[in-house]
Structure 1
Amino acid sequence: MERVYKTMRNAGALNIVIGIIITVAGLSVGIMSIINGAVLLKRKSEITF
């Protein structure tokens, strides 16, 4: 039984780490998207088609 508890503990810890990594990555991508959109809006007059 102790082996099962260790496995569950390791799986839980891994899930927490993966969740933190995904949250940080999502936040980073969101911030970069906002900055990129702001730059595009700032240079809107320079864009010609």
Structure 2
Amino acid sequence: MEKVYKTMKSVGAFNVVMGILMIVSGICFGVAVIVKGAKLLKHRSDLIF
């Protein structure tokens, strides 16, 4: 019975770590997209289609 609890504990810890990593990476990608969008808006007069 103790083996089951150890397995559940390790899986739970892994899920928490993966959740934190996904949140951090999502914030980083979001900031990068906003910065690139702002750069495009700043230079929109230079863009020719």
If the length of structure 2 is used for normalisation, what is the TM-score? 0.96
If the length of structure 1 is used for normalisation, what is the TM-score? 0.96
Please list every run of 5 or more consecutive structure 2 residues that lacks an aligned counterpart in the other structure.
Answer: none
Per the alignment, residue 43 of structure 1 pairs with: 43
What amino acid maps onto 1:13 in structure 2? A
User: Following superposition, which runs of at least 4 residues in structure 1 exceed 4 angstroms of deviation?
Assistant: none
Q: Distance in 2 between matches of 1:46 and 1:5?
A: 61
Shift of 1:3: 0.3
How many pairs are equivalent?
49
Per the alignment, residue 24 of structure 1 pairs with: 24
Shift of 1:43: 0.2
Give RMSD over aligned pairs: 0.5
